[in-house]
Amino acid sequence: MDFSERPVQEWRKQAFDFASDSTKQLITMATGVVTVTVLFSKDLDSVSRYLALAAWIALTLSVMSGVAALLNMSGNLHNAADDIYRAPTIKAFGIRFFSLGQIGLFLCGIILVFLFGFFAARARPAIEDKALNVTCVLGPSASTTPIGGSQGNTQPIATPSPQKRYSNRRADHK
């Protein structure tokens, strides 16, 4: 059976399948872009921060529009199955409205992500003058047995400073 002999219902079913798949792809890409930009949004200047926020809002609204488009497709098919509609159509107002909204918001969000990336790449990270604290955790055997053997006979470990070691080596070579 070639394409011209297929019944009209098969073509409509394929149209809904393709529209549904495209909507799901845009939802996946928008969610991924939001996730990646959130990961790289540490230490931003104010312009980049506002662009990232605007991109996240646009992409989140795109995802919500995509979900609404999928729900409208499901409702349209359900109503056609219940004979409320004569035939399901991908051109129904709700499907077109939310699908076009999803595409428009996705494109707007992607443009904002590119602008965010451009400004974030130009911004210099702030230099932090914070003290660095290092915490050493000793294993259970090291914490129960002090250095030097027993509890009353503890001695600190003395290591020579690096300058002293190097100066001794130089003296040996002369």
The answer as to whether 58 is a domain residue is: yes
Q: In this structure, which amino acid lies at residue 20? A: S
Q: Of 36, 32, 37, which is closest to residue 120 (Cα–Cα)?
A: 37
Instruction: Give pLDDT, residue 88.
Output: 79
Residue 144 lies in a domain: no
CA-wise closest residue to 63 among 95, 18, 17, 32? 32
* pLDDT tens over the chain, length 174 residues: 455 545 657 777 888 889 999 999 999 999 999 988 888 777 778 888 899 999 999 999 999 999 999 999 998 888 888 877 777 788 889 999 999 999 999 999 999 999 998 888 887 666 666 777 777 777 666 555 555 555 555 555 555 555 554 455 555 555
Tell me the residue range of the domain where 47 lies. Answer: 3-122
Q: What is the pTM of this model?
A: 0.63
User: Which among 25, 19, 20, 18 is positioned nearest to 106, based on CA atoms?
Assistant: 25
**How many structural domains compose the chain?**
1
Burial of 173 (0-12, 13-18, 19+ CB in 10 A): exposed
pLDDT of residue 107: 97
> What is the DSSP secondary-structure string of 133-164?
P------HHHHHS-TTSSTT---------HHH
Residue 19 falls inside a structural domain = yes
Amino acid at 94: G
User: 23 lies in a domain?
Assistant: yes
160 within domain boundaries: no
Residues 89/12, Cβ–Cβ less than 8 Å = yes
Q: Give me the pLDDT at residue 80, please.
A: 80
Question: Is 32 within a domain?
Answer: yes
